[in-house]
Structure 1
Amino acid sequence: MESGPRLGLSATPVRAGDPVGTAVVFDYFDGVVPPPFTLYDAIKSGTLTQYAYHVCRVNLDKDEQDQWNSLTREIRKQFAQSLATKNPQPEAALRLKHLLIRRARIVKSAREKVEAAVSVVTKAFRRGQHWIVYCDDQVQLAEVRDALRSAGCPDVLEYHTAMSGDPRRTLELFETQGGIVVSIRCLDEGVDIPAVSHALILASSKNPREYVQRRGRVLRKSHGKSLSHIYDIVVTPLFDPNEPPALALLEGELSRAIAFGQNAINPGCITDLQRLAIEHGLDWTNLTIAGLEDDEEDKEHHE
């Protein structure tokens, strides 16, 4: 049904991994109104704060790398079978999706991330600051929360849909007093706390919609805030002479990191990412247009 003139406002009009859905949206709204107002434009105009981007590297341990390699072999096998089948069944596509999700979880929940989180926070956190630490699931959240408290970090709060306390009271306390909120996806959208100045990302999908939301969360203007900081834990594979290099792992991590680093005030972060790509023989140009792995899991797993 025709509704007359239409206007939609979105920082992420392109639906990642869904060209058909994207085409429907663009057709309905008759494309993007030129010129697009980019993140660079928003920072330059003072609508958003400038930000520094900090990459922290961790490795998979041997057990995690073995799991990654095993799942990768199975993914390649399933994919080859689907290409050889003239009429692939929906069940085959579902099996492949579940394998990709399981592999993505290995990276998101890498054990070294907890230690890295404690290292970043204990070195950089100052009382009165507002930090959000993004975790993958309840298990990782509990591990990070307990590790931070054991390390003597003050004002560590948690926020998620299954929490026992009052979520609104938690956010009110955080907004007025500052501190560190350990959260899952439920702080990605719908909660406005402009005072947030630091984000530590332990787990992220490669869907731009998610990381654009997270970046926007920390770049909002607030009294006394002139610069924001984003810390990103990037997982790199272990070298195994008996296995092909796990380049898919690093490609996914770097494609997200490049998007974060492109508008940061510290261009050296991009240089560090380029060096990491060279170390592993990756084509930098291809990384900037890397595709998405289907790692969108059931929200109940996270929250």
Structure 2
Amino acid sequence: MTCFSPVGVVELLWDRGTILIEGDPPREALGFAVFDPRVKKYRCMAIHYSRLKRVLEEKGIPFEDRVMQPACSKVEAKVKPELRHYQREALEAWLRYRRGVIVMPTGAGKTFVAIAAIAELSTPAMVVVPTVELVEQWRRRLSRYFPGKVGAWYGEEKEENCLLVTTYDSAYLSVEALGPKYPFLVFDEVHHLPSESYRQIAELSPAPYRLGLTATPERSDNLHALLDELVGPVVYEMRVSEASGRYLAEFEVEVVKVRLGEEEEEEYRRLEKIYLEYIRRKNLKFKSPAEFRKLVMLSGRDPGARRALEAWVRMRSILFNSESKVNAVADILARHRGDKILIFTEYTSLARAVSERYLIPLITHDTSSEERRIVLEGFRTGVFRAIVTGKVLDEGIDVPDVNVVVILGGTSSRRQFIQRIGRALRLKPGKAKIYEVVTASTREVAASRRRRRDI
């Protein structure tokens, strides 16, 4: 049976991540709405929901809105978080538009700004995070302010509530069902969102209110430019240097320069020659990681480009897996016998070598969730004084008394660098110590210098 809207009234209906428009939309809406001959109606992606309503209102066209089906009518906080002055500034900047990205260093309290925003709006919200650990962390914190109103949606756990915490993976799979239930979307570590799959979470949701949180929005592929459309522009930004010593722990970065072994050095210089000769011959200049794609694309049809790319990959492997970096850890551990230490590597192979050499617990992508839980709990309680990891703990670990971070390799992105040092920057007595172990006389040294200048 087909239902028709009253004459002259447009009806907006939810349909699996899109808005169906019953009736004739105004011409201004046709830029983002297309005619679907299967149902003989216009249709637009859910992200255009607010824009569509605004066009209808401006044109004085009556409409019935049947899109949102909120999980609860209202969500009131038992108590609102107390915010520092800069957190209040960030909240007020976001409330002007109720869309946008807040950029703050790890440890500066982005989570509490988001909780305050939820309390201000008193509307159902879905919080999207990159890791299971962050699901549990957010659920605990939200439950302090909204007891009994927080659910989680990931893996085998599917518990809906007025507030819902989910992972990017789970939200991507379930947005068509969950979208109309949550008018407010919070994206933690929002730099993940612009990826080809995850951006659909934002595109297939009608949520009019959107908040992104990150320490560094930039991506090497430049897809962060999509955040304006998906979430909103950056509305507030605080650098690490602005917060250090006041709202974050003071910190000191020490660059430890090591040398390649004789065989490693010989192989590295041979590969470097192959790489540099090609890019100079072709006059290639890589001013950003995104521009490096030129070489990748050329490698598909040019044997010389392929050899240069293979040389570059092997050079990275030599730098990141050098035995000298494993050796350097011994001195750092000896200097910080009473401290809590996080060691980051780029490659799992190097993390495993450090773990085996110094009998330090290891967390990688292959670590089971139960083992990961045991290791992190042991680290928090002091059973383990150090752990070593690849990239999996760049986000989602909350151990406030970490005071030493060791980064074995100086060519991580600026975002990774800020995330990693942020593990030691939660406010506490004393100064945090950051060690960046780089290979002397290589491009690692210059990359390290640029990153330290940018924070």
TM-score by length of 1: 0.67
Equivalent of 1:22, from 218, 221, 224?
A: 224
Kindly indicate whether the alpha-carbon contact (under 8 Å) linking 1:130 and 1:175 is maintained by their aligned counterparts in 2: no
Matched, 1:234 2:434: no
Q: Tell me what 1:67 maps to.
A: 267
Alignment of 1:1-303 (within 5 A): 1-2=47-48, 4=50, 5-7=98-100, 8-16=212-220, 18-19=221-222, 21-26=223-228, 31-33=233-235, 36-46=237-247, 48-79=248-279, 88=298, 90-92=300-302, 96-126=308-338, 129-149=339-359, 156-163=360-367, 166-177=371-382, 178-221=384-427, 225-237=429-441, 249-250=442-443, 252-260=444-452
Structure with the larger RCO, 1 or 2 (CA within 8 Å, 6+ apart): 1
- For 1:43, the aligned partner's letter is S
**Does the residue aligned with 1:218 lie in a helix, a strand or coil?**
coil
- Matched residue, 1:287: none
Amino acid at match of 2:224: T
Offset of residue 255 of structure 1: 2.8
Cα distance change on mapping 1:228 and 1:141 into 2, 3 Å:
same
Structure 2 Cα separation of the partners of residues 28 and 158 of structure 1: 36
Structure 1 Cα separation of the partners of residues 354 and 272 of structure 2: 28
Letter matched to residue 12 of structure 1: T
Q: CA deviation at 1:213?
A: 0.9
Give 1:98 deviation, angstroms. 3.9
In the TM superposition, residue 138 of structure 1 has moved relative to its aligned partner by 3.6
How far apart in 1 are the matches of 2:366 and 2:348? 9
**Which residue identity does 1:232 align to in structure 2?**
E
Q: Deviations over 1:185-237 (max 9, x none)?
A: 1111122222211111113533112111101111123xx54321111112113
* Structure 2 counterpart SS, 1:140: helix
Separation (CA, whole Å) in 2 of partners of 1:124 and 1:261:
26
In structure 2, the gaps of 5 or more residues are 1-46, 51-97, 101-211, 285-293
- Matching residue of 1:297: none
Superposition RMSD in Å:
3.0
Residues 143 and 30 (structure 1), Cα distance of their counterparts in 2 relative to 1, 3 Å cut: closer
Deviation at 1:159, TM superposition (A): 1.8
Deviation at 1:112, TM superposition (A): 1.1
Alpha-carbon distance, 1:141 to partner: 2.5
Once residues 207 and 3 of structure 1 are traced to their aligned partners in structure 2, the CA distance between those partners, rounded to angstroms, is 36
Whole-angstrom CA distance in 2 between matches of 1:10 and 1:69: 38
Q: Distance in 2 between matches of 1:27 and 1:256?
A: 32
Percent of residue pairs bearing the same amino acid type: 22
How high is the TM-score relative to the length of structure 2?
0.46
Asked which structure has the greater CA Rg, the reply is 2
- CA gap of 1:89–1:228, structure 2 versus 1, over 3 A, is closer
Q: State the alpha-carbon separation in 1 of the partners of residues 415 and 309 from structure 2.
A: 19
- Cα distance in 1 between the residues matched to 2:414 and 2:331: 27
Structure-2 change in CA distance of 1:26 and 1:111 (3 Å): same
In structure 2, what is the equivalent of residue 280 of structure 1?
Answer: none
Structure 2 CA distance for aligned equivalents of residues 88 and 107 of structure 1: 24
* Residue segments in structure 1 that go unaligned for 5+ positions in a row: 150-155, 238-248, 264-303
Which has more strand, going by share of residues? 2
For 1:37 and 1:262, locate their aligned partners in 2 and report how far apart those are by CA, in whole Å.
12
CA contact (8 A) 2:355 2:388 kept: yes
Residue 22 of structure 1 aligns to which amino acid in structure 2? Answer: H
- Pair 91,179 (structure 1): closer, same or farther in 2 beyond 3 Å: farther
- Aligned length, in residue pairs: 236
**CA offsets per residue over residues 22-58 of structure 1, 9 Å max, x none?**
3333465554325x21112222541x21112122111
